[in-house]
Amino acid sequence: MNKPILAIFLALAATAAHAGDLVIRIDNVKTADGQVKVALFDGAATFLKQPARVADAPATAGSTTVTFKDLPPGDYALSLYHDANANGKMDRNPAGIPIEPYAFSKDAQGFMGPPAFDAAKIAVPAAGLDTVATLR
């Protein structure tokens, strides 16, 4: 590789955004039954419609941890729930209200529905982030 091309490559590599880990501690897990499921959204247009990533972990009474590895820096929002009966879906009552414990990042709450992306938005720096969500 010649020196000018190598210099350009090294300069671009030095300024590239590094990816960090987003570690979420989920508190208030009532039982060790089932799994805790987490959806990560990377914008308002896809919030609660199309997650950028999903993850799950076996439920542990008390708290459970889920990690998204190598996440580029940016703004994200989380939606999660405790799938206690392990049926793979958020159970709801006939009125459509969740009957399994759930949470959003920043413990955001909506009014007569889920919160907006901006209410749940967390900024993940290149170094990564540790955050907490509390099931309700």
pLDDT at 18: 74
Residue 37: its H or E element: strand 35-41
pLDDT at 3: 59
Name the nearest CA neighbour of 114 among 102, 100, 122. Answer: 102
pLDDT at 14: 46
Q: How far is CA 59 from CA 70, 77, 81, in A?
A: 23, 21, 10
pLDDT at 6: 46
Average pLDDT by stretches of 10, the chain with 136 residues = 52 60 98 98 98 98 98 98 97 96 97 95 98 97
Residue 122 phi, psi (nearest 5): -125, 140
The answer to whether the beta carbons of residues 3 and 111 sit under 8 Å apart is: no
Please report the domains of the chain, with CATH numbers, ordered by start residue: 18-134 (2.60.40.10)
Number of H helices, E strands in the chain: 2, 8
